[in-house]
Amino acid sequence: MSVVLRFATAPALPLHSAGKYVAAAYIVFVALILIYVAIMARRLTSTERDLEALKREVEARQPDEDAEHEYQGAAR
């Protein structure tokens, strides 16, 4: 409780000295946002690359499955 009272009674920083801290906080915030966006862009690129690989794999298997179905249909 005394800690809360101590912070409540502490004088505020004068505006001319608080500006540095506010600017630093904004810079850190913007840097974190940019890092987050970069990570998400990297993950998106990786996911798109994996999706394209899966599409190619499905397309490569498609003619083989069609040929098997035709062969099984002719045997009946």
Domain count, the chain: 1
Higher pLDDT, 68 or 36: 36
Backbone angles phi, psi at 5, to 5 degrees: -65, -40
- Alpha-carbon distance 24 to 52, whole Å? 42
Q: Read off the amino acid at residue 24.
A: A
13-41 confidence digits (pLDDT tens)? 666 677 888 889 999 999 999 999 999 99
- Domain extent, residue 58, equals 2-75
- Alpha-carbon distance 16 to 20, whole Å? 8
pLDDT bucket at 67, cuts 50 / 70 / 90: low
Higher pLDDT, 11 or 42: 42
Share of the chain above pLDDT 70, in %: 62
Top-ranked range on mean pLDDT: pick from 18-22, 50-54, 64-68:
50-54
